Amino acid sequence: GYQRVLEENRKLYNQVQDLKGSIRVYCRVRPFLPGQPNSVSTVDWLDEGSITINTPAKYGKDGRKSFTFNKVFGPSATQEEVFADTQPLIRSALDGYNVCIFAYGQTGSGKTHTMTGPKELTQESVGVNYRALSDLFLISEQRKETISYLISVQMIEIYNEQVRDLLVTDGLNKRYPFERNTLEIRNSSQNGVNVPEANLVPVSSTSEVIKLMNLGQKNRAVGATSMNDRSSRSHSCLTVHVQGRELASGMTLRGSMHLVDLAGSERVDKSEVVGDRLKEAQHINKSLSALGDVISSLSQKNSHVPYRNSKLTQLLQDSLGGQAKTLMFVHISPEPDAVGETISTLKFAERVSTVELGAARINKDNSDVKELKEQIANLKAALARKE
């Protein structure tokens, strides 16, 4: 009787409390690529939760620097292993949470590999994006007797501080790069932060998702740089909107998931680039440093958080602040000549991991921690009276 209900409630309460804490940070080290000249990795040591980098003298006295994260994936970690540790977060979008997963790192470090996969996709090599959606379909199918779900996706890109829809097919060649097609990011109390003008496409199968992602991928602004011909100087964001309705009660919930592949974080030597490349570099620096400023002010618990300083931070506003569940994949390259970027990437990631989030909140019409707390207190009192 009471004892069981009390236990059930405590379990539920603990689950909610578990979501409290910092932004989760997972570090992933890219393997050396085939055809690369042999060199020794800058990674001296790694285990499940920490990584040590061999550094030239200028970065640390004893030539080594260690960092701790929620999880560290070495160069041999598979896509499946990486996804396994991400899955619980993803599933919570179906429970009405706002989830945000973003990939950070210098160009060529493996961001797109983690989020989307390599150029030739196979069942083993697909990244978090595809796996996340298949998983949502699977779970929503399992729950269909009790909850009916509507899942829709949007895919946008932020390039030079302009927001573009990547899911456009009509006259794409003519409209792309659609200089005038810059979309507004809105913040409404009902729908949270969203881009209402971007195509919102309902999806119910993995094959539909693959088609859309291919379209989005094609539409992304890519161009050649000396570092990586697939490098990208835009941020791309796949947003999954989840609407659920509990069949018995009619209660509705709304979850969302942002899957963000950020532009390369490397500092660009301004003397090397001119014209469009310089403009791109400046915009990337601006949005990534705005992201850094938001993270700093959150970790210092400042009352004013400067979300409005860039499109990126505006878009991620509900995912970085109080009530979201946020995971950052930080990527590093193993090459010795990348060590400067590797250290600054890991330092940034360490700063991110200190940001405390409030308890994640469900966008549901009748649930919150306070209520559960009260219930537990009442049950405890009832139990005490019985004994």
- What tokens does 218 get? 């094609």
- Helix, coil or strand: residue 223: coil
Q: Which of 232, 160, 239 is nearest to 192 (CA)?
A: 239
Please report whether residue 84 would count as binding ligand ADP according to CB under 6 A.
no
Give the x/- contact pattern for ligand ADP in 303-332, rule: CB under 6 A.
----------------------------x-
Which residue, 112 or 265, is less far from Mg ion as judged by CB? 112
Minimum separation from the CB atom of position 227 to ligand ADP (A): 8
**Residues 49, 114, 176, 134, CA torsion sign:** negative
| Residue 71 or 91 having the CB closest to ligand ADP | 71
Q: Is the dihedral of CA 312, 315, 318, 324 positive or negative?
A: negative
As a dihedral over the C-alpha atoms of residue 353, residue 356, residue 359, residue 364, rounded to 10 degrees, the angle is -70
Q: Which of 112, 114, 116, 317 binds Mg ion (CB under 5 A)?
A: 112
User: By C-beta, is 24 or 111 nearer to Mg ion?
Assistant: 111
Query: How near is the Cβ of 106 to Mg ion at its closest, in Å?
Result: 10
* Residue closer to ligand ADP (CB basis): 113 or 325: 113
Among 54, 228, 282, 299, binds ligand ADP (CB under 6 A): 228
Binding of residue 31 to ligand ADP (CB under 6 A): yes
CB of 144 to Mg ion, least distance (A): 36
Under DSSP, the state recorded for 220 is S
Using CB under 6 A as the binding rule, whether residue 30 contacts ligand ADP is answered as: yes
When CB distances to Mg ion are compared, the closest residue is 112
Q: Which residue is nearest to ligand ADP (CB)?
A: 110
By the 8 A CB rule, do 186 and 308 touch? Answer: no
Contact partner at residue 220 from Mg ion, ligand ADP, none, CB < 5 to 8 Å by partner kind: none
CB 213 → ligand ADP: shortest distance, Å? 15
**Other C-beta atoms within 10 Å of 42: how many?**
22
Which backbone phi and psi does 110 adopt, to 5 degrees? 115, 15
CB of 210 to Mg ion, least distance (A): 18
C-alpha torsion sign, points 103, 108, 110, 113:
positive
Length of the chain in terms of residues written: 387
Q: Which of 24, 65, 111, 361 binds ligand ADP (CB under 6 A)?
A: 111
The DSSP-derived string for 33-65 is PTTPPP---SEEEE-SSEEEEE--GGG-TTSEE
In 163-187, which positions are buried (b, 16+ CB within 10 angstroms) versus exposed (e)? bbbbbbeeeeeeeeeeeeebbebee
Give the binding range for ligand ADP (CB under 6 A) out of 41-49, 111-119, 274-282, 310-318.
111-119
Site residues for ligand ADP, window 258-277 (CB under 6 A)? 264
Instruction: List the x/- string, 225-244, binding to Mg ion by CB under 5 A.
Output: -------x------------
Handedness of CA 15, 316, 365, 86 (dihedral sign): negative
d(C-alpha 199, C-alpha 201), whole Å: 6
Chosen from Mg ion, ligand ADP, none, partner binding at 228 (C-beta under 5 to 8 Å by type)? ligand ADP
Compute the least distance from the CB of residue 118 to ligand ADP, in Å. Answer: 4
The residue within the footprint of ligand ADP, chosen from 231, 314, 319, 353 (CB under 6 A), is 231
User: Is the CB of 33 or the CB of 84 nearer to ligand ADP?
Assistant: 33
Give the separation between CA 10 and CA 29, rounded to whole angstroms.
38
- CA angle, corner 291, sides to 47 and 345, nearest 5? 30
Tell me how far apart the alpha carbons of residues 109 and 107 are, in angstroms, rounded to a whole number.
6
Give DSSP secondary structure letters for 119-183: SS--TTT--HHHHHHHHHHHHHHHTTTTEEEEEEEEEEEEETTEEEES---TTHHHHTT-TT--P
Judge contact between 306 and 297, C-beta under 8 A. yes
Distance of closest approach, residue 109 Cβ to ligand ADP, in angstroms: 4
* Contact of residue 31 among ligand ADP, Mg ion, none (CB under 5-8 Å per partner type): ligand ADP
- Contact letters for ligand ADP, residues 33-72 (x by CB under 6 A): x---------------------------------------
Nearer to ligand ADP, 179 or 229 (CB): 229
Give the binding site for Mg ion (CB under 5 A): 111-112, 232
Give the binding site for ligand ADP (CB under 6 A): 30-31, 33, 105, 107-113, 118, 228, 230-231, 264, 331
